[in-house]
Amino acid sequence: MKALITGGAGFIGSNLARGLIERGDDVRILDNLVTGSLANLHDIERAIDQRIGDVRDPNSARGAVRGVDVVFHLAALPSVARSVRDPASSHEVNAGGTLTMLEAARAEGCRRFVYASSSSVYGDTPILPKHEEMPVSPRSPYAASKLAGEAYCRAYARSYDLETVSLRFFNVFGPRQDPASEYAAVIPRFTTRMLAGERPVVFGDGSQSRDFTHVANAVSACLLAASAPSDASGEAFNVGCGSRTSLLELVELLATILGRATGVDFAEPRPGDVAHSEAAVDRARAFLGYLPVIGVRDGLTDVAEWFARTGAVTV
């Protein structure tokens, strides 16, 4: 299979690139390096076709998809908090960039378009677990932009000869996730602070919970979505573990794994955050054959070992 990964120098994209290469696929990436880094690809750079470009640019998009069978569209401007401060940029990259890539894929005759959506499209509805038949209710510009991308994917599947599959990722974590970013996800930030002997910062009271999903599960879902039967086209599927962990429970798990007792510093809740999130994965199992391959505790152990091995601290 010839595959393009937009955002291929990013966290999920670089892990997906390794998964594809291990299978013997031809891999091309497109990344503008705003949030991604070529350092994430240093050990596989000779095995991939690297293109520096922006998904909003039609010429970059057309050139990147030419000759490709499957597009994995992971490029996005992440962070709920960032989108609250700058909604226009989130829309331009996440919704506009998705439309540009879809049009390029259609024009170049790609077979399938796999889109990285987000659990944030569900909003803060009290129903748990979140399932694909429930109404969506985005409460941040980021969530709205990801939902707009889903809608474009569905429209292209219905209007053109392009199969699309949207994957609603639930709080993906794992190796190569940047802990230094202002918008870093909670697990790399907690892990690196605790490894450095510092207290993790919890926004809110710590009771909020998430379906933390190791990146190996996201990679598995992407590969399954690329080859799923045609009845998956135009549909959206949850990708998670089907369980949830509160932030305070997360601190306790990491403290046990790292062998380090720690306190917690609390800060004001962040705008746009939801209280609880948990994925129902029955539909992904039925259509894609998806099942989580790594649970939360094993995933946290993997992350702790990776940050300890690659950073200036030891477990």
pLDDT band at 313 (very low <50, low <70, confident <90, very high): very low
Residues of the chain with CATH 3.40.50.720: 2-173+213-241+281-293
**Tokens (6 digits) for 189:** 């930030």
Grouping H, G, I as helix, E, B as strand and the rest as coil, residue 15 is: helix
What is the reported pLDDT for 182?
66
What is the reported pLDDT for 261?
80
Residue 312 has pLDDT above 50, yes or no: no
What is the reported pLDDT for 183?
64
CATH of 2-173+213-241+281-293, one of 3.40.50.300, 3.20.20.70, 3.40.50.720, 3.30.465.10: 3.40.50.720
Identify the DSSP state of 95. I
What is the reported pLDDT for 19?
97
| Section 122-129 average pLDDT | 92
Count Cβ atoms below 10 Å from residue 246 Cβ, excluding itself: 16
What is the reported pLDDT for 147?
98
Residues of the chain with CATH 3.90.25.10: 186-208+243-278+297-310
Q: How far apart are CA 146 and CA 156, in angstroms?
A: 15
CATH of 186-208+243-278+297-310, one of 3.40.50.300, 3.90.110.10, 2.60.120.380, 3.90.25.10: 3.90.25.10
37 vs 125, higher pLDDT: 37
Which H or E run contains 2? Answer: strand 2-6
**Tokens (6 digits) for 243:** 């369980």
Which residues on neighbouring strands pair with residue 6, listed in sequence order? 30, 73
Report pLDDT digits (tens) over 243-279: 999 999 999 999 999 998 888 999 999 887 888 999 9
- Which long-range contacts does 23-30 make (Cβ < 8 Å, 24+ apart)? 23/223, 25/1, 26/1, 26/2, 27/3, 28/2, 28/3, 28/4, 28/64, 28/68, 29/4, 29/5, 30/4, 30/5, 30/6, 30/55, 30/60, 30/61, 30/64, 30/75
Is there a contact between 29 and 48 (Cβ–Cβ < 8 Å)?
A: yes
Report pLDDT digits (tens) over 158-171: 999 899 999 999 99
Report pLDDT digits (tens) over 40-64: 999 999 999 999 999 999 999 999 9
What is the reported pLDDT for 221?
98
| Section 191-200 average pLDDT | 93
Share the mean pLDDT of the chain. 95
Please report, as a single letter, which amino acid is at residue 30: L
Instruction: Identify the CA nearest to 96 among candidates 58, 63, 65, 56.
Output: 56
Kindly report the pTM of this predicted structure. Answer: 0.95
Which residues belong to the active site?
142
Please report, as a single letter, which amino acid is at residue 221: A
What is the reported pLDDT for 315?
36
- Which long-range contacts does 59-64 make (Cβ < 8 Å, 24+ apart)? 60/30, 61/30, 61/100, 61/101, 61/103, 61/104, 62/104, 62/107, 62/108, 64/4, 64/6, 64/28, 64/30, 64/104
Residue 211 has pLDDT above 80, yes or no: yes
